[in-house]
Amino acid sequence: MATIKDVSKLAGVSVATVSRFLNKNGYVSKEAAQAITEVIEKLNYRPNNIARSLAGKKTATVALMVPDILNPFFPEIARAVEDAAHEIGYTVMLCNTDNDADKEAKYIETLIQKQIDGLIISSYTIKPEQVVNLQKHSIPVVLMDNAFPGQDIVSLLSDNRGGGRLATQHLIASGCRKIGHICGPMHITSSRERTLGYEEAYKQTGQFMPSLITYSDFTVKGGYDSMIGLLDSHPDLDGVFASNDLMAAGAVKALIERGINVPADVKVIGFDGIHMEMMVPELSTIAQPIYEIGKTAMNYVVALINQEPIDKKSRLFAVELIEKQSTKR
């Protein structure tokens, strides 16, 4: 295996020059950079990241922490993060927490010990003090789909409240008069905001009542169980807005099992915009720009690693209504 000394010898430059070139730290002439690049390709040289880490250098590795890898939203995020990382020579370590706070805490401790360069977190159980602790260990953090107001933490969020309004307004415009809402966990920022958007839009019709909201857990089973509960309480429902696409899929399953036609009898819309073409009927949804969010998260965490300025500590992404069969007139 080629070493940095082999590269410096063949390129005719010092080891320090090769090090500055590899770490992008300090001046390297164009001639030296070209010579080093040619030798690296010839020798197929790869920096020893473990040695660089022990020496206090960056390892070009970031971690992505997600709460549920079985939710198609998060593999799409992971794909975007990994694509962006590959473009700039970074490696991504995936940490799936299963919405388990203890598992999440163990991951964080391990990442601190491994001196990870940075961390992208999409979590429903993370606490602000955990993020602050990571920052104290010089590990930059970018939050996705969550925020801690008042904390100096970079956060990427979609327009969840606006999306909740848009979903509800779409159901109203499609002829729905009695609209139920399957809400996600209320301790999650995005879930609360989507519910607020539903309430703001539906209260304008004068038909809103608190019992039309049921609470679930962002899973297909949760959506199914909540839909059964809504039908038992409000058998005359003609519209449902679920706070994510998985719960919407569960709601459609429950409706079909009850012999209720979707969309002729009850129209259903979800939130996220994940790929669910296999569903019949195909699901209308409020789509987040999932790929753009993931790519932005990677670019932001690398900027923090390199101590580069970021234009906004909190960024809000626009959402889009995707109308498909489940809400057609």
Output the pLDDT for position 25. Answer: 64
Domain with CATH 3.40.50.2300 in the chain: 61-158+290-318, 160-288+321-327
Q: How far apart, in whole angstroms, are the C-alpha atoms of residue 59 and residue 63?
A: 12
Q: How far is CA 121 from CA 56, 63, 160, 168, 172, in A?
A: 24, 8, 18, 29, 35
Q: What integer pLDDT is reported at residue 189 of this predicted model? A: 86
How far apart CA 54 and CA 39 sit, in angstroms, is: 25
24: left (phi over 0), alpha (psi -120 to 50) or beta: left
Would you state the pLDDT for residue 53? 45
d(CA 161, CA 323): 18
Give the pLDDT means over successive 10-residue stretches in the chain (329 positions): 84 86 78 90 73 55 93 94 89 92 91 88 87 87 86 91 98 97 91 96 96 95 97 97 97 97 97 91 97 94 86 88 94
Tell me where in the chain the CATH 1.10.260.40 domain(s) lie: 4-47
SS (H, E, C) 224-287: HHHHHHHHHHCCCCCEEEECCHHHHHHHHHHHHHCCCCCCCCCEEEEEECCCCCCCCCCCEEEE
pTM over 0.85: no
Superfamily of domain 160-288+321-327: Response regulator (3.40.50.2300)
Distance of alpha carbon 308 from its chain centroid, rounded? 22
Which homologous superfamily is 4-47 in? lambda repressor-like DNA-binding domains (1.10.260.40)
Q: Rounded to an integer, what distance in angstroms lies between the CA atom of residue 85 and that of residue 106?
A: 24
Cα 106–chain centre separation: 21
CATH architecture under which domain 61-158+290-318 falls:
3-Layer(aba) Sandwich (3.40)
CA end-to-end span of the chain, whole Å?
66
Encode burial over 26-50: b for 16+ CB neighbours within 10 A, e otherwise: eebeeebeebbeebbeeeebebeee
Spell out the residues 6+ positions from residue 182 whose beta carbon is closer than 8 angstroms to its own. Answer: 214, 216, 222, 223, 226, 227, 230, 240, 241, 242, 243, 247, 248, 251
pLDDT for res 229: 97
Helices 4-11 and 30-43, packing angle to 10 deg: 120
